[in-house]
Every structure is written in C-alpha cells, then in structure tokens.
Amino acid sequence: MEKEKHHIVPYKTYFYILISLLVLTFMSIGITKINLGGYSVLGALIFSTIKSVLVLYWFMHLKFDQPFLRFMVGFVTLVFLAVIFITFLDYYYR
Amino acid sequence: MEQVSQHADPHYDQEANKLGMWLFIFTELLLFGGLFIVYSIYRFLNPEAFQLGAHELNPTIGAINTIILLVSSMTIAMSTSSLQKKNKGLTVLLLEITIMLALVFLINKYFEWGVKFDHGIWPGSEHLINDMSRGEILFFGLYFVMTGLHALHIIVGMIIIIVALKRVQNGTVNENRSSLLDNAGLYWHLVDLIWIFLFPLFYLIH
C-alpha cells in the first residue's frame, strides 16, 4: 500500500526533460541574437516560463504529487503576477 | 490502541515534510520575485543603461553555467529515483556528481566576478560611481546582489546535499525515509529555477 502512492520516475524521463531544457536554452540564446527589439525580452521570458514549467512538473514532481500542491504553486504564481501587474500600472501611468 | 505497522517511529510524515518544504520554497520564490520586480522597474526606467551594462557580461560563461545547473538538476532528480529503487551506490554517485557540478558552477562564478573586479566594477567602486550612469550603477548593483544571493543558495544547497549524501551512506535516509533527499532535491531545483530566469534577464538581453 505504501508503494503504490510512491511513483518512481524512470531515469530516461529525467533525461528527456534535460534534453528539452537544453534545447529550450539554446533556442532562447538564438532568439535574443536575432534583433527583435522589445520582443526579445518577451521571447526570452516565454522560453524561461516553459523551462520552469518543465522543472516544476517533472524535476520537482508536481505532476506526480497531490493536486493541492499544484494548486498552491499556481496560486503563488498568480499572486506574484498580480503584484507585477499592479506595480507596472503605477509606473506606466505616472 | 492503534498499532503502526510500517514504521517504528510514528512521527515520520512524508507528505507533511514535503508540504513544509514547499511552503519554504514559496518564501524563496517571493524573495527572488521581489528582486525581479525591482529589476524590471529599473530596466523599464533605464532601458539604454541596462543594455550597456549587459554588454559587459559574458553570455558564454552564463550559458555554460546554465548547462551545468540543468545537468545537476537531472542528476539529483535521478538520485531520488535510484534511492526508491534501493540502489544506494548509484544514489551516492549521482549526489557526488551533483556536488561536483555545483562546485564547477561556483568556480565559473568566481572567475566571472574576478573579470568584473579587474575591470574596476564592483558595488561602490570608483570606476562605477565616477564614470558610469545611474542606470548602469543600478544594473551592476542588481547583478551583484541577485547573482550573489543565488550563489549563496548554491553554497547552502551544496551543504544540504552533502548532509543528505552522508545520511544516505549511513542508511538513515533510505527508501522508506527519503524526505531529506527529496527536500534537498526540491531546494536544488529551486536554485535551478531561479537561474532559468536570471540567465536571460542579465546575460542574453542586449
């Protein structure tokens, strides 16, 4: 009974995640080399966000954990985004 | 009276250990999150100075350190699996590799900061205060504080991994009581997660 709630992730899953993370890193290096002006920040942040989802879900086991942990991580992320949004509203409209 | 069948020690609760670690990770995320907000506001106010400052940084060293951290994240993640599979030798080996990679990261950081010091750039240096704009002073201030705080987390992470390694070796961390290793892994992935955002924001964007 103890065993069945304990999911052992195969080594090759971790290896595939690493390869994806490395590919995304090189893609983000590539996209900032192209001159996209203000969009290169956006591009780099999109790649970083995808990478962090991979780390959170597989490396940090959220995919295999109880749903309330995913909910809490999502909630903290939303709080953080709300603080960024409100701060920028202030600076943008000064 | 209830009998606990699995463990002699009834005080071990894996889910609670994990939850406690996550609560701590949230405080860390908001600490660095606050610094990222400071960075983005100052970047918004001083876009040219931040671009000039970023030209001073070496994206190759940044990229190498990114690869090192990502690989070390994989090795520590694999070590939690090998512990569950009762493969103690492999667990120890993977943890040793993780510690070595962390050390290489710090050595790179040492040389990277050393180059900045050689160029006369450190917080409060004469060159920085007299010859650079306010925006560049802010950029380098944030660079040293954020990468320095991150490096401090690498050092703490190494200590935690060394403790976990010792306890895997003496058997107090095992497949039935793996929380210390699992939480060391979570902490290490947090360090990786922060670097995933630090690297593009400081090294890539110019």
Q: What is the pLDDT of residues B117-176, one digit of tens each?
A: 999 999 989 999 999 999 999 999 999 999 999 999 999 999 999 999 999 999 999 999
At B200 the pLDDT is: 94
| Interface residue of A11, A33, A40 to substitute, partner B, most B CBs within 10 Å | A11
The share of chain B scoring above pLDDT 70, in percent, equals 95
Q: How far is CA B15 from the centre of its chain?
A: 24
State residue B174 phi and psi, 5-degree precision: -145, -175
Answer whether A55 sits within 8 Å of B26, measured CB to CB.
no
Q: Would you say residue A67 has pLDDT above 70?
A: yes
Nearest CA in chain B to A37: B206
Tens-place pLDDT, residues B182-198: 999 999 999 999 999 99
Ordered structural domains, chain B, with CATH: 36-204 (1.20.120.80)
List CB contacts (< 8 A) between B193 and chain A: 52, 55-56
Answer whether A84 sits within 8 Å of B40, measured CB to CB.
yes
At A37 the pLDDT is: 72
Q: Would you say residue A4 has pLDDT above 90?
A: no
Q: What is the ipTM of this complex?
A: 0.91
At B7 the pLDDT is: 54
Residue A4 contacts B, CB cutoff 8 Å? no
- CA dist., res. B93 & res. B75, Å (int): 9
- CA dist., res. B113 & res. B107, Å (int): 10
| Interface residue of B64, B196, B198, B201 to substitute, partner A, most A CBs within 10 Å | B196
Residue A67 contacts B, CB cutoff 8 Å? no
- CA dist., res. A83 & res. B144, Å (int): 24
Answer whether B29 sits within 8 Å of A91, measured CB to CB.
no
| Beta bridge partners of residue A39, listed in sequence order | none
Q: How confident is the model at residue A1 (pLDDT cuts 50, 70, 90)?
A: very low
Q: Would you say residue A2 has pLDDT above 80?
A: no
Only one residue has tokens 């240096």, namely B125
At B182 the pLDDT is: 97
Q: Would you say residue B2 has pLDDT above 90?
A: no
- CA dist., res. A57 & res. A7, Å (int): 13
Q: At what angle do helices B134-169 and B179-199 cross, to 10 degrees?
A: 160
Least Cα distance to B33 among A83, A55, A62, A50 occurs for A83
Least Cα distance to B187 among B28, B19, B67, B6 occurs for B28
Tens-place pLDDT, residues B30-65: 999 999 999 999 999 999 999 999 999 999 999 999
- CA dist., res. B172 & res. A37, Å (int): 54
Contact B29, A84 (CB under 8 A): no
* Residue-averaged pLDDT of chain B: 93
Q: Which helix (H) or strand (E) holds A44?
A: helix A39-54
List CB contacts (< 8 A) between B70 and chain A: 18, 21-22, 25
- CA dist., res. B129 & res. A44, Å (int): 30
- CA dist., res. B8 & res. B41, Å (int): 54
* Residue-averaged pLDDT of chain A: 90
Tens-place pLDDT, residues B74-99: 999 999 999 999 999 999 999 999 99
Answer whether A55 sits within 8 Å of B196, measured CB to CB.
yes
